[in-house]
């Protein structure tokens, strides 16, 4: 949901722009979004919208209507780019000129819509309704100029609603970068984790300009890795042209996608961070299908276990699950995976604490997390499994890891088959490695299973989704 602000004594738009954007220049953007005609005249108690934006450098032949059509799908939004960019003559832009392109949601009104209702939906406060009226009055949207807060504004009117990513669901943004055309980065402060975890959000090629809603893949990294790992593995090329958002969060070097039994270094509740905080934050701040058929989860190694675990424990959240060399059985071979989770988490994650408890396990928690003990939870889902058949015999880590993965996945597959649950599986040459060819195959299956990308409708547009 877009950020908002109420003016206090002594504040100016350049000061607020510096606070929210790190740059005094976008003060004009705040004025544009807030329906302010004189940027030097703001009053205490005045409501302001603090939207996100894209910086764009004009090239030869660019016109504001063309840019409005490219970024927002509507040439009538050109004046908003002009005012946000401080352009007084909209027909005169030069190559090399830097423009501010506001993040907007196009909303087509339904019968019975009122401005207070829309202000509450998109800005979280019905008292922001005059801003919607003023902004859309200046853009010349038919039927909006002169309406009062209580008016039924009629059906079929396309409104410009400012958008952006903001705090919420227990997450406070402490660092962000949305300059890349596709890969947007955020770092959060959260009570669930004792440090500030990062998240990469990889957008479809046309996200900024399509106005479409997209399915989401949550992609979980392996042990001793972080949220950047899949970028290093070429995730941008693997997803080029694909109509899906990919969310890649931190999960701790040995967090095991769990809330641990004990920690001596502060909270490391990765399960809470991912499921209770990040997932709803993504749905509130991006154009996603916030529903079962709109989400998939996949992962490599420790992340493959996390994907299987989250799918079983939160059955209504994910329609597709994929485990690339991820363990599917915690208790086999005298609980080797549980022992490894406890040892690795104690050494690098929890300062001597453990995920499942030592020397005695929390048996209830082990069973709750163990995919092979939750077979019924995988019904009516797409399931994709990959394991290596020939790990390096000289490399102890590779050999023990992938042999355990292969044995556990075979046991898991047998249980799925006994229960009549369809699943796709692959045993590939090699050891404990991420296989780009298998991921590419998996991604096509994920996209086929989830809801396809489609233009945002009035009924599906999420509040504040940019």
Q: What is the DSSP-derived secondary structure letter of residue 140?
A: T
| Orientation angle between helical segments 396-418 and 332-348, nearest 10 degrees | 130
Active-site annotation holds for 398: yes
Residues 52, 369, 398, 442: which is the catalytic one? 398
C-alpha–C-alpha distance, residues 303 and 219, integer Å? 8
Catalytic residue at 301?
Answer: yes
Q: How far apart are CA 174 and CA 171, in angstroms?
A: 9
> Collapsing DSSP states into helix, strand and coil, what is residue 115?
helix
Active site residue 76: no
Burial status of residue 331 (CB atoms within 10 A of its CB: 0-12, 13-18, 19 or more): middle
Catalytic residue among 263, 301, 320, 329: 301
Closest C-alpha among 349, 366, 343 to residue 251: 349
Under DSSP, is residue 271 helix (H, G, I), strand (E, B) or coil?
A: helix
Instruction: Write down how long the chain is.
Output: 466
Is residue 62 within 8 Å of residue 93, measured between CB atoms? yes
Would you say 446 and 410 are in contact if contact means Cβ atoms under 8 Å apart? no
- Separation between Cα atoms, residue 439 and residue 455, nearest integer Å: 27
Please give the structure tokens belonging to residue 360: 């005695």
For residues 436-454, b (16+ Cβ closer than 10 Å) or e, as one string? Answer: eebbeebbebbbeebbebe
Interatomic CA distance for residues 6 and 117, integer angstroms: 20
- Checking DSSP bridges between strand 104-108 and strand 98-102, what pairing results, if any? unpaired
Q: Which of 258, 263, 432, 442 is catalytic?
A: 432
Residue written as token pair 């994907």:
307
Rounded to 5 degrees, φ, ψ at 465 are -65, 130
CB neighbourhood size of 87 (10 A): 19
Give CA angle at 169 (168, 170), nearest 5°: 90
- Whose structure tokens read 């801003």? 131
What residues are labeled active site? 301, 398, 432
């Amino acid at each position: 949901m877009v950020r908002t602000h109420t003016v206090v004594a002594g504040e100016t738009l350049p000061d607020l722009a510096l606070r929210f954007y790190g740059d005094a220049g976008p003060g004009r953007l705040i004025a544009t979004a807030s329906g302010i005609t004189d940027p030097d005249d703001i009053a205490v108690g005045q409501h302001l919208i603090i939207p996100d934006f894209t910086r764009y450098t004009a090239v030869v032949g660019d016109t504001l209507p063309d840019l409005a059509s490219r970024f927002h799908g509507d040439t009538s939004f050109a004046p908003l780019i002009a005012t946000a960019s401080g352009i007084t003559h909209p027909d005169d832009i030069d190559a090399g000129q830097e423009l501010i392109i506001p993040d907007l949601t196009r909303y087509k009104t339904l019968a019975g819509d009122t401005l207070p209702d829309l202000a509450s939906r998109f800005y979280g406060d019905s008292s922001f309704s005059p801003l919607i009226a003023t902004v859309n009055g200046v853009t010349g949207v038919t039927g909006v100029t002169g309406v009062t807060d209580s008016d039924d504004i009629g059906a079929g009117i396309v409104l410009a609603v400012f958008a952006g990513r903001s705090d919420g669901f227990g997450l406070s943004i402490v660092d962000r970068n949305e300059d890349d055309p596709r890969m947007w980065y955020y770092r959060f402060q959260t009570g669930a984790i004792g440090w500030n975890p990062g998240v990469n959000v990889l957008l479809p090629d046309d996200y900024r300009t399509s106005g479409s809603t997209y399915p989401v893949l949550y992609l979980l990294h392996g042990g001793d890795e972080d949220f950047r790992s899949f970028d290093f593995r070429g995730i941008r090329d693997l997803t080029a042209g694909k109509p899906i958002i990919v969310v890649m969060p931190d999960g701790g070097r040995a967090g095991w996608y769990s809330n641990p039994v004990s920690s001596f270094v502060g909270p490391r509740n990765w399960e809470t961070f991912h499921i209770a905080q990040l997932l709803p934050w993504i749905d509130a701040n991006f154009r996603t299908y916030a529903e079962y058929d709109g989400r998939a989860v996949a992962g490599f190694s420790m992340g493959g276990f996390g994907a299987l675990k989250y799918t079983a424990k939160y059955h209504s959240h994910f329609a597709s699950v994929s485990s690339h060399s991820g363990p599917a059985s915690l208790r086999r071979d005298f609980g080797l995976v549980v022992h490894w989770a406890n040892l690795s988490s104690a050494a690098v994650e929890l300062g001597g604490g453990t995920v499942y408890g030592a020397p005695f396990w929390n048996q209830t928690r082990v069973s709750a997390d163990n995919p092979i003990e939750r077979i019924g939870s995988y019904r009516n889902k797409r399931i994709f499994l990959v394991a290596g058949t020939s790990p390096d015999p000289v490399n102890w880590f590779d050999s023990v890891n992938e042999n355990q993965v292969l044995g556990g996945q075979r046991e898991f597959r047998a249980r799925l088959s006994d229960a009549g649950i369809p699943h796709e599986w692959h045993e590939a040459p090699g050891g404990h490695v991420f296989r780009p060819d298998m991921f590419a195959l998996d991604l096509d299956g994920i996209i086929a299973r989830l809801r396809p990308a489609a233009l945002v409708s009035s009924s599906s547009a999420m509040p504040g989704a940019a």
